[in-house]
């Protein structure tokens, strides 16, 4: 039946202007006739729709008792029926709430508080409603059914964006689901977005009750503040006003405020999932993507706001006093009681960490830090895909390499595909130290020699052998000194050498290595070096150095080991492995740190021939090395690197960051050198005569920490800022880091 016919026949409305208002499902029209306006709705008939309309009418009837806010009223037909069922449709007429939409208005504090009161009054009025129809509704837009949106995740095109949404799905499972038994439930409007709120002449009003559900009461507020916070510079400030208004009408409970952060995130996740999916069915509709841009904007801000800071703000807004649950001083004291002081803490003011997400971390007081320091979390802190794969594997099987299981083979195959074809055997262990230790053992077994050549300031691990081959440790002021089986040679660092990095510097240092090798009584079994030295102060080995030294070492019967623990897995941008930058193929590669994105895995990769030599010795067994959980995690990391194109991102963001740092170098002469590749960069602070500015480096690091940015210092003089963030670090983060360095240097110099 034609709409105009229905209006005429059942409502006595003729000659009306009909304006179609786009919505997600039902057809909605604004009806204008003479001085009057109405809303006319047509629903596709189903038993569920019929029942829901009945329920909605009952709810609107209840709400009409609230005098200081406006709600739509059902306009009965001429026969005094609340709706018309005709053919496959249900029709009904509602009063129109006139006024400016909240979405078009300036959001003054008073207005936001008023919105809170409207929602609080409404929820209080509905708090005792018992409605079996609404109770059995399971809408995708109801936050308690967030999971129903999971199938839409795949429609989000950008893999990093998808990971962000996945992260919040996972956090919801972790933090919301275990608390639901404590949550109040009631009938709620469930869609108090700012296009459903009207600022009338005398009072605020709310319309569109099509999403009514029986759900956690707090979801009402979660939905409302989600939309209120979109496009706001300081989202929590706006949310605070709404919460205050709501709480004054209908007091909130602490358990509700505790999960509000995750519920806001959940609403944003639903919104972007529905937009992504909606675009596939209605590619031309503006309505399905109406909130998309703002939702992404808030989601990206939300990750930085962090759950603790939000909790603190929400508690305070409701008048509850908030204190960190963990006492930082106590943590410090307990640590000192149980742990040795040989374990150091970062920063003059150590940080009590509570949680992390991608390139951000937050402490027990709710401060968010930008992590420009942690190269272990390659894919980002708590990356949801890695976490999920680890959790699933852990719940299925954990055993050791004495059994057959698929993940071990698959992981070995996938990882070896990343190497030149002659490096085709892998030994899994649990750390970089264990890997370099094993590498030396294998090298000795293969060459039947005992001596090892290392670079000055190199670090390879904390085991007995690890320390023995780490000049950084054994030659330090408290170190044990050099073992007679070790030969060390100066690190080939172009900066400060007076030589150009065009091969001449590399050759100069290779000649030194030659002298050392040739003057040794004993032949060397192995030469181990990082392609870009981490602890040495982010030093890329001078060009052509490795090529020359590898030849020298091989000529006298030794093998060459590349320690890729810090730089491997794409961080360098141009290449996946550091040795590729130097155009060499090592005989053995040592892996660790980023391999498991925080899960302890390491490996030694080598050739068939070298592995064969090792097979002549006793069985090699590592209880945990290569276990199914570690393999699942390692595989997940490789997948994320590929899926999110992290190597390409390291290149792009790294180049951008390096350019910004070089601009600072032009401004501040104390920045003597900016070096490195991709997102593995170093900033050396020194005087013109290369005298290290150790104190300045420490001051800068600690000032950055005060500004909530994490970087480290290293190098033999601790005068090099180490920048090696998770690869989720973005261009904006690069600006933040360099702006802050600029501000601090401007202040202290």
Give the nearest distance from C-beta 343 to ligand PMP in angstroms. 13
Give the nearest distance from C-beta 460 to ligand PMP in angstroms. 5
Interatomic CA distance for residues 327 and 116, integer angstroms = 34
Interatomic CA distance for residues 280 and 283, integer angstroms = 6
462 touching ligand PMP, by CB under 6 A: yes
Q: 425 pairs with which residues across the strands?
A: 606
Cα dist. 736→610, 704, 732, 740 in Å? 47, 11, 6, 6
Give the nearest distance from C-beta 668 to ligand PMP in angstroms. 28
Those residues whose C-beta lies under 8 Å from the C-beta of residue 592, and which sit 6 or more positions away, are 431, 432, 433, 435, 565, 601, 602, 603
Q: Which is nearer to ligand PMP, 198 or 467 (CB)?
A: 467
Those residues whose C-beta lies under 8 Å from the C-beta of residue 129, and which sit 6 or more positions away, are 59, 62, 186, 187, 214
3-state secondary structure of 74: strand
The interface with ligand PMP within residues 593-652 (CB under 6 A) comprises 593
Give the nearest distance from C-beta 617 to ligand PMP in angstroms. 23
Tokens of 156: 């989000």
**Residue 51, burial from CB neighbour count under 10 angstroms (0-12, 13-18, 19+):** middle
Q: Which is nearer to ligand PMP, 123 or 564 (CB)?
A: 564
- In a 13 Å sphere around the CA of 408, the CA atoms on its Cβ side amount to 19
Total residues interacting with ligand PMP, rule: CB under 6 A = 16
- In a 13 Å sphere around the CA of 621, the CA atoms on its Cβ side amount to 8
Q: Which is nearer to ligand PMP, 380 or 598 (CB)?
A: 598
The interface with ligand PMP within residues 223-252 (CB under 6 A) comprises none
Both ends of the chain: CA-CA distance in Å? 79
Give the nearest distance from C-beta 419 to ligand PMP in angstroms. 18
Among 238, 566, 606, 630, binds ligand PMP (CB under 6 A): 566
Among 204, 565, 585, 711, binds ligand PMP (CB under 6 A): 565
Q: Which is nearer to ligand PMP, 70 or 566 (CB)?
A: 566
Give the nearest distance from C-beta 624 to ligand PMP in angstroms. 13
Q: Give the E-state strand segments of 62-220 in sequence order.
A: 74-75, 84-86, 89-95, 100-101, 185-188, 197-199, 204-206, 213-216
Strands 559-563 and 524-529: parallel
Stretch that binds ligand PMP, among 188-196, 224-232, 303-311, 458-466 (CB under 6 A): 458-466
Among 563, 644, 684, 714, binds ligand PMP (CB under 6 A): 563
Interatomic CA distance for residues 405 and 337, integer angstroms = 43
Give the nearest distance from C-beta 192 to ligand PMP in angstroms. 50
Q: What is the DSSP letter of 686?
A: B
Residue identified by tokens 């400060």 is 496
Q: Which is nearer to ligand PMP, 210 or 534 (CB)?
A: 534
Q: Which is nearer to ligand PMP, 267 or 493 (CB)?
A: 493
Q: Which is nearer to ligand PMP, 407 or 457 (CB)?
A: 457
Give the nearest distance from C-beta 715 to ligand PMP in angstroms. 13
142 touching ligand PMP, by CB under 6 A: no
Q: Which is nearer to ligand PMP, 57 or 431 (CB)?
A: 431
Give the nearest distance from C-beta 376 to ligand PMP in angstroms. 8
Q: Which is nearer to ligand PMP, 212 or 541 (CB)?
A: 541
Give residue number: closest CB to ligand PMP: 432
Residue identified by tokens 């967030």 is 146
CA-angle at 334, arms to 330 and 336, nearest 5°? 120
Give the nearest distance from C-beta 461 to ligand PMP in angstroms. 4
Q: Which is nearer to ligand PMP, 257 or 533 (CB)?
A: 533
Among 41, 247, 446, 460, binds ligand PMP (CB under 6 A): 460
Give the nearest distance from C-beta 432 to ligand PMP in angstroms. 2
Interatomic CA distance for residues 3 and 11, integer angstroms = 11
Among 72, 573, 592, 626, binds ligand PMP (CB under 6 A): 592
Stretch that binds ligand PMP, among 91-99, 347-355, 562-570, 620-628 (CB under 6 A): 562-570
Q: Which is nearer to ligand PMP, 6 or 529 (CB)?
A: 529
Q: Which is nearer to ligand PMP, 171 or 436 (CB)?
A: 436
> Rounded to the nearest 10 degrees, how much is the dihedral formed by the CA atoms of 335, 337, 339, 344?
60
271 touching ligand PMP, by CB under 6 A: no
Interatomic CA distance for residues 251 and 245, integer angstroms = 10
- Spatial CA neighbour of 457 closest among 434, 439, 441, 476: 476
Give the nearest distance from C-beta 470 to ligand PMP in angstroms. 8
Tokens of 622: 């590592």
CB 462 within 8 A of CB 438: no
Residue identified by tokens 């480290």 is 712
Give the nearest distance from C-beta 378 to ligand PMP in angstroms. 14
Interatomic CA distance for residues 91 and 106, integer angstroms = 35
3-state secondary structure of 156: coil
Give one word for 178, left, alpha or beta, with left for phi > 0 and alpha for psi -120 to 50.
alpha
Site pattern 489..528 for ligand PMP (x: CB under 6 A)? ----------------------------------------
Give the nearest distance from C-beta 565 to ligand PMP in angstroms. 4
- Spatial CA neighbour of 379 closest among 47, 20, 371, 134: 371
Interatomic CA distance for residues 223 and 201, integer angstroms = 25
Q: Where are the alpha helices (DSSP H) in 608-693?
A: 608-615, 628-643, 646-667
Give the nearest distance from C-beta 306 to ligand PMP in angstroms. 28
534 touching ligand PMP, by CB under 6 A: yes
Site pattern 366..405 for ligand PMP (x: CB under 6 A)? ----------------------------------------
Site pattern 403..442 for ligand PMP (x: CB under 6 A)? ----------------------------xxx--x------
CB 298 within 8 A of CB 235: yes
Tokens of 106: 């300036």
The interface with ligand PMP within residues 280-339 (CB under 6 A) comprises none
Give the nearest distance from C-beta 567 to ligand PMP in angstroms. 8
459 touching ligand PMP, by CB under 6 A: yes
Interface residues with ligand PMP (CB under 6 A) are 431-433, 436, 459-462, 530, 534-535, 563, 565-566, 592-593
């Amino acid at each position: 039946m034609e709409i105009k016919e229905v209006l005429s026949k059942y409502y006595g409305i003729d000659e009306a202007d009909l304006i179609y208002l786009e919505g997600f499902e039902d057809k909605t029209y604004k009806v204008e006739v003479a001085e009057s306006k109405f809303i006319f709705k047509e629903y596709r008939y189903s038993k569920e729709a019929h029942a829901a309309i009945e329920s909605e009418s009952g709810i609107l009837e209840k709400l009409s008792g609230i005098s200081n806010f406006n709600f739509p009223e059902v306009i009965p037909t001429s026969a005094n029926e609340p709706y018309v069922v005709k053919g496959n449709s249900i029709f009904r007429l509602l009063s129109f709430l006139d006024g400016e939409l909240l979405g078009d208005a300036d959001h003054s504090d008073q207005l936001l508080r008023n919105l809170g009161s409207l929602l609080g009054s409404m929820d209080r009025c509905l708090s005792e409603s018992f409605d079996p129809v609404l109770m059995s509704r399971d809408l995708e837009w109801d936050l308690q059914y967030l999971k129903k949106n999971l199938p839409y995740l795949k429609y989000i095109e950008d893999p990093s964006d998808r990971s962000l949404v996945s992260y919040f799905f996972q956090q919801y499972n972790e933090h919301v689901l275990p608390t639901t038994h404590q949550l109040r439930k009631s009938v709620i409007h469930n869609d108090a977005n700012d296009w459903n709120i009207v600022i009338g002449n005398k009072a605020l009003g709310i319309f569109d009750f099509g999403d009514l559900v029986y759900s956690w009461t707090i979801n009402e507020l979660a939905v409302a503040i989600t939309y209120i916070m979109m496009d706001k510079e300081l989202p929590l400030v706006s949310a605070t006003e709404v919460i205050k208004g709501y709480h004054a009408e209908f007091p909130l409970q602490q358990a509700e405020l505790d999960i509000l952060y995750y519920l806001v995130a959940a609403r944003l996740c639903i919104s972007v999932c529905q937009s992504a999916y909606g675009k596939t069915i209605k590619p031309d509709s503006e309505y399905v993507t109406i909130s998309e841009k703002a939702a992404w904007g808030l989601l990206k801000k939300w990750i930085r706001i962090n759950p603790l800071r939000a909790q603190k703000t929400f508690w305070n807004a409701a008048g509850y006093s908030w204190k960190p649950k963990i006492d930082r001083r106590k943590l410090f004291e307990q640590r000192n009681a149980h742990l040795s002081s040989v374990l150091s803490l970062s920063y003059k003011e150590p940080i009590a960490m509570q949680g992390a997400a991608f390139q951000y971390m937050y402490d027990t007081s709710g401060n968010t830090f930008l992590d420009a320091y942690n190269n272990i979390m390659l894919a980002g802190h708590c990356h949801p895909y890695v976490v999920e794969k680890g959790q699933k594997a852990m719940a299925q099987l954990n055993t050791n390499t004495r059994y057959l299981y698929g993940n071990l083979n698959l992981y070995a195959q996938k990882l070896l595909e990343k190497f030149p074809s002659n490096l085709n055997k892998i030994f899994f262990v649990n750390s970089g130290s264990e890997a370099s230790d094993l590498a030396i053992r294998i090298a000795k077994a293969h060459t039947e020699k005992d001596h090892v050549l290392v670079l000055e300031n190199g670090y390879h691990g904390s085991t007995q052998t690890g320390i023995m081959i780490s000049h950084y440790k054994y030659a330090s002021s408290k170190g044990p000194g050099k073992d007679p089986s070790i030969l060390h040679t100066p690190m080939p660092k172009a900066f400060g050498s007076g030589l150009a990095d065009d091969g001449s510097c590399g050759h100069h240092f290779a000649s030194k290595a030659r002298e050392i090798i040739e003057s040794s009584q004993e032949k060397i079994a192995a030469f181990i070096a990082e392609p870009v030295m981490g602890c040495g102060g982010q030093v890329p080995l001078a060009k052509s150095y490795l090529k020359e030294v590898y030849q020298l070492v091989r000529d006298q019967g030794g093998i060459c080991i590349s320690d890729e623990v810090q730089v491997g897995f794409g961080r360098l941008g141009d290449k996946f492995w550091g040795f590729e930058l130097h155009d060499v193929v090592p005989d053995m590669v040592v892996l660790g740190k980023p391999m498991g994105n925080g899960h302890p895995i390491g490996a030694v990769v080598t050739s068939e021939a070298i592995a064969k030599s090792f097979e002549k010795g006793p069985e090699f067994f590592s209880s945990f090395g290569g276990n199914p959980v570690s393999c699942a995690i390692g595989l997940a990391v490789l997948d994320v690197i590929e899926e999110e194109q992290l190597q390409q991102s390291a290149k792009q963001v790294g180049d951008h960051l390096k350019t910004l740092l070089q601009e600072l170098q032009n401004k501040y002469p104390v920045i003597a050198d900016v070096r490195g590749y991709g997102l593995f960069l170093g900033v050396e602070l020194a005087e013109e005569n290369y005298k290290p500015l150790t104190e300045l480096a420490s001051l800068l690091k600690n000032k950055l920490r005060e500004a909530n940015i994490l970087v480290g210092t290293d190098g033999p003089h601790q005068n090099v800022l180490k920048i090696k963030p998770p690869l989720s670090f973005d261009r904006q983060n690069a600006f933040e880091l360099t702006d802050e360095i600029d501000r601090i240097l401007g202040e202290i110099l």
